Amino acid sequence: MQNHLLSALTFVPVLGMFAILFIPRDKSYVIKVVAAVTTGIQLWLAVQMYIAFDTTTSAMQFVEHYAWIPAFNIEYFMGIDGLSAPMVLLTALLSFICIFASWNIEKAVKGYFALFLLLDAGMMGVFVSIDFFLFYIFWEVVLLPMYFLIGIWGGPRREYASIKFFLYTLFGSVLILLAMLALYFYNDPHTFNMLTLMETTYDYNFQKWVFLALFIGFAIKVPIFPFHTWLPDAHVEAPTAVSVILAGVLLKMGIYGILRINFPVLPDATLWFAVPLGVLGVINIIYGALCALAQTDLKKLVAYSSISHMGFCLLGMAALTSAGMNGAVLQMFNHGTISAMLFLLVGVIYDRAHIRDVNGFGGLAVRMPIYGGMVALAFFAGLGLPGFSGFISEALTLIGGFGAEHSSSTFRWLTGLAVMGIVLNAAYFLWAYQKIFLGKLNEKWAGLSEINGRELFTIVPLAIITIILGFYPMPILGMMSETMNGIIEMVKSGAITALQ
């Protein structure tokens, strides 16, 4: 059955963007409403997708397959499976929420929302493309609006941060492009179709090089140590909603790329690379947490915590076990919601106090009990407390990492180290919470107003999702399990050289 749900998901924001371009610039309220309606439609479509999604198969669903540039065998090929479907949901949800989080943007409203919708379209496109060429185009489409969103609406060092972000990611894109072309020309007839690419058996050394190029390209986006330094800067400078998108969706694109392309297309190299991948994951976890512990800027702290949390994804993936892989993708989804909450909450206090230095506050829980409670909830979710979704995904990745069948003793030690990251996570979150909310009220902030209804509206849905998935994660896990097990199977059966 060919329907056009995925195209609609991707291009509805583009329509919205054009609509906004035709609205006079001084009618900022209309612009915001149009943006909200657009993302609302997109979210509704994503929910339709979720309802219609078939969880019993690992095949591509909602497929749209047309020839696009036949001369080069480039196709307009879209489809989703259990790996991309949760990401599609996440993207639609966060885009919708971020429109409301951007409600008090005053500078160049028209441009902001137009770019935001373009960004939305790009992200969605990345997750639904199966043709590598199409994927790459969307991948690049994401870059440009992001650059402007940070560079124009950002904080004091926005130029530095946005250029750093742009160049860093572009560097990665070049490597992806190279690898993409290498794969294209290796196959005969030349093709960009990922599903076809997966069927070919590649030369072992070729696999390693292509894997490395793709990996570095994706690793920059994740970001994986040592390619992570653009993240704290970008987060600190970006406006709240952009931070949310950055942490909530953009980081996931990296892991998604590795799982979508590296793993199934290059199974030998994947096994060869599994231990380094696990090691990098553990470095991310421990190093990110240690760096977070040393930060005084709240946003930077959350940024480093993202790095730490993404490490769990890597560890779980590298283990190539059912628990690990599913845990990794669930962790992507959960981190999307939890880090979004964290950044939204940081934005709330920054809007009021115009500082983010944790040492500058104190005792706010007395003045802002609801806000304090929401932050406590988000922090507890962040430090992996049972009852919140993050706990389950982190536990799954650790269980998966510990049970790795290849290089099992290495993975046991790695996972042991990673568990230590949980202790550190608790340390920095509780430390930050104490500094800001506990103790005597800092009189300077006696006039701060409580979190308002619009802000609560952006945060509460995320909190509810986090709690529901914390009690019963199957609504998301059930979507992905078939696909993830399929990918493991593909890697294990596809790896010929590495296993010998």
Partner 1 sequence: MNTIILYSLILLFLPLAAFAINILVGKRLPRKGDWVSLSAILISFSFALSMFAYMLFIRYDPDFSVEWRWLWIDLGDFVIELGILVDNLTIMMLLVVTLVSSLIHIYSISYMKDDPRYNRYFAYLSLFSFSMLIIVLSNNLFGLYIGWELVGISSYLLIGFWFEKDSASDAGKKAFITNRVGDFGFFIGVLLFFTAVGSFNYGDIIAGVDAGAMSDGLFTAAGIALFMGAVGKSAQVPLHIWLPDAMEGPTPVSALIHAATMVAAGVYMVGRIYPLFSPGALLFIAYVGAITAFVTATIAVVRKDIKRVLAYSTVSQLGFMILALGVGGYVSGLWHLTTHAFFKALLFLGAGSVIHAAHTNDMFRMGGFKKKMPVTFWTFLIATLAISGVPGFSGFFSKDAILASALEFSFAHPGHIMLFILPLIAAGLTAFYMFRALFLTFYGEPQDKEIYSHIHESPGSMTIPMVILATITILITFDQWRGFEYLPLVGEYAGWFQHLIHEPAAIFTGAAAMAESVVGHGASEETAHTIAMWLSIFVAGVGILLAYLFYLKKSLSAEKVSKSLSSIYTLLRNKYYFDEFYGATVIRGVLGLSKASAKFDDTVIDGAVNGTATITIWLSKASRWFDDHIVDGAVNGTATVTTFFGTRLRRLQTGTVENYVSFLVVGILVFFIFQAIF
Which of 110-118, 140-148, 350-358, 390-398 is the region at the interface with partner 1 (rule: CB under 8 A)?
390-398
Record the tokens describing residue 497, joined without a space: 């050289």
Q: Residue 226: is the preceding peptide bond cis (ω within 30°)?
A: yes
> Binder to partner 1 among 363, 382, 390, 494 (CB under 8 A)?
363
Q: Are 2 and 80 in contact (CB under 8 A)?
A: no
Nearest residue (CB) to partner 1, 95 versus 331: 331
- 415 near partner 1, judged by CB under 8 A: yes
Task: Indicate which single residue of 33, 36, 399, 456 sits in contact with partner 1 (rule: CB under 8 A).
Answer: 399
Cα–Cα distance between 151 and 154 in angstroms, integer? 6
Number of residues that bind partner 1 (CB under 8 A): 64
Shortest separation between residue 454's beta carbon and partner 1, angstroms = 20
CB nearer to partner 1: pick between 208 and 412: 412
450 contributes a contact to partner 1 by CB under 8 A: no
Cross-strand bridge partners of residue 129: 78
Which one of residues 47, 67, 419, 499 is an interface residue with partner 1 (CB under 8 A)?
419
Helix, strand, coil tally for the chain in percent (to 5) = 75, 5, 20
Does residue 448 interact with partner 1 by CB under 8 A? no
Nearest to 137 by CA among 58, 64, 82, 192: 192
Could you say which of 427, 448, 450, 456 contacts partner 1 (CB under 8 A)?
Answer: 427
We find the least distance from the C-beta atom of residue 460 to partner 1, in angstroms, to be 11
**Dihedral angle computed from the Cα positions of residues 93, 94, 99 and 101, in that order, rounded to the nearest 10 degrees:** 130
Count of residues for the chain?
Answer: 500
Please tell me whether residue 420 binds partner 1 under the rule CB under 8 A: yes
Q: What character string, x for contact with partner 1 (CB under 8 A) and - otherwise, covers 222-241?
A: ---xx-xxx-----------
Q: Rounded to the nearest 10 degrees, how much is the dihedral formed by the CA atoms of 442, 446, 452, 455?
A: -20
Phi-psi label, residue 354: left if phi above 0, alpha if psi -120 to 50, beta otherwise: left
Residue 334 binds partner 1, judged by CB under 8 A? no
Residues with Cβ < 8 Å from 320, sequence gap 6 or more? 270, 271, 274, 404, 405, 406, 488, 491, 492
**Residue 461 in the binding site for partner 1 (CB under 8 A):** no
Query: Applying CB under 8 A, does 276 fall inside the site for partner 1?
Result: no
User: What 3-state DSSP class applies to 69?
Assistant: strand
Positions 283 through 322 that interact with partner 1 (CB under 8 A): 287, 290-295, 321-322
Q: If binding is defined by CB under 8 A, does position 170 make contact with partner 1? A: no
Stretch that binds partner 1, among 42-50, 178-186, 187-195, 380-388 (CB under 8 A): 380-388
Phi and psi, residue 338, nearest 5°: -70, -45
**Number of Cα atoms under 13 Å in the Cβ half of residue 256:** 32
Based on the shown chain and the rule CB under 8 A, indicate whether residue 442 belongs to the binding site for partner 1: no
- The answer to the question of residue 174 lying near partner 1 (CB under 8 A) is no
Nearer Cβ to partner 1, position 52 or 460?
Answer: 460
User: Structure tokens of 352?
Assistant: 């009021």
CB of 42 closer than 8 Å to CB of 12: yes
Binding mask 473-492 for partner 1 (x = CB under 8 A): xx--xx--xx-xx-------
- Under the rule (CB under 8 A), what is the footprint of partner 1? 164, 167-168, 225-226, 228-230, 287, 290-295, 321-323, 326, 363, 365-366, 369, 373, 380, 385-387, 391-392, 395-396, 398-400, 402-403, 412, 415-416, 419-420, 422-424, 426-427, 430-431, 434, 437-441, 472-474, 477-478, 481-482, 484-485
